[in-house]
Amino acid sequence: MLIDATTAPYVHRYRGVEAYLNSPYPETRDVAVATITGVGSSALGSAALGWNISKALAQPVLAIVPGYRVADVVLQALGGWFGFGLHDYMGTKTVTQNSLANVAPNNASIGRALSGSVPDAPSLHGAPVYRHGSGSSDVLHALMQDRPSPFRLLVGHSKGALQIGNALRSLDPDRTKDVRVVTLGCPIAQDAPGAIYHQYLGLFDALGQLNMWGHWPDHWPPTWHSTNPAMAAGAMASAAA
C-alpha cells in the first residue's frame, strides 16, 4: 500500500510487485520510505504504521503487508512459543512454507499472492517459496533491487525488523549505501554494507528484549512493544533528519 497522509485519496493498493514496479504513476518511483510490520499484522495494522510514519515525516510511505493467514498458523504458534528471534534463526518460516508447498500447495498459496508476484519468484507445485526467509523479505528485496533508486528509509516493527535485515543481506552494496534502517522492538544485526541503523527497544518491552540475540539498541525509550504513535513519531523524525 502506498500511503500519503497529506494528499487524498491517502491510500493506494497494489496487489502485485510487478504491477507496482510498472506503474505509470511517479509516486511509486518517488516514495523513499518503506515499512514492514510484525507477526500477525493485517493490512489494517500495516496501514496504521505506515500512516503514523507518513504523518510524522510528512511524506508518502510504502507499507508492505506481511500477509499472515491460514498458511501461517504453525508459524504463529512457533513464534509465540520460541520467540521470533529463534524462530528466524532456525529458518522455521522457510522450512514450513516449503513443507506446506509440498503437501498442501493450495494452503501454502493462501495469503501469498504478493510474494508470488515478485519477478522470477520460485514456486513448488504452484505455491510460492521464499528466497530470503519470508514473503515480505522477498518483496522488499525485489523492490530495493529493481526500483530505479532504492528506498532511503526502512522501518520495521517486531519481526518486520528481521525481515528487513533478511531483505538487505544479499543486495549489492550500492543498493544499501546510506539507507537508514529503523527498528522498533527488535534490534537486528547491522550487516548491510553502508546502511545506517537507528534501533529502538522499549525499557518495558519484554518480548523485544527476549529477541535481542546480542544485538543492542541505540535507544531505550520508556515504552513497551506497542507502536504507540505518541512515542514513535519522535524516533521517526530524528532518524530521518
Nearest one of 117, 115, 149, 147 to 132, comparing CA atoms: 115
Given pLDDT bands bounded at 50, 70 and 90, which one contains residue 239? Answer: low
Quote the pLDDT of residue 134: 66
> 152, 135 in Cβ contact below 8 A?
no
pLDDT of residue 121: 54
Q: Across 18-141, where does the E strand assignment appear? A: 33-36, 61-64, 123-124, 127-128
Neighbours of 1 (CB within 10 A): 18
Counting beta carbons within 10 angstroms of the beta carbon of residue 10, is it exposed (0 to 12), middle (13 to 18) or buried (19 or more)?
middle
The 8-class DSSP code of residue 29 comes to H
**pLDDT for 43 beyond 50:** yes
* Residue 9: exposure state from Cβ atoms within 10 A (0-12, 13-18, ≥19): exposed
Could you tell me how far CA 29 lies from the centroid of its own chain? Answer: 18
For residue range 145-180, what is the model confidence (pLDDT) as tens digits?
889 889 999 999 988 898 899 889 889 999 999 999
Q: Which residue has the cell 504513535?
A: 229
CA torsion through residues 133, 46, 161, 185, sign: negative
Query: Average pLDDT in the 114-119 region?
Result: 53
- Express each pLDDT in 77-108 by its tens digit: 444 444 555 545 444 455 444 554 444 444 44
Q: Which amino acid is at 14?
A: Y
Q: What is the pTM of this model?
A: 0.74
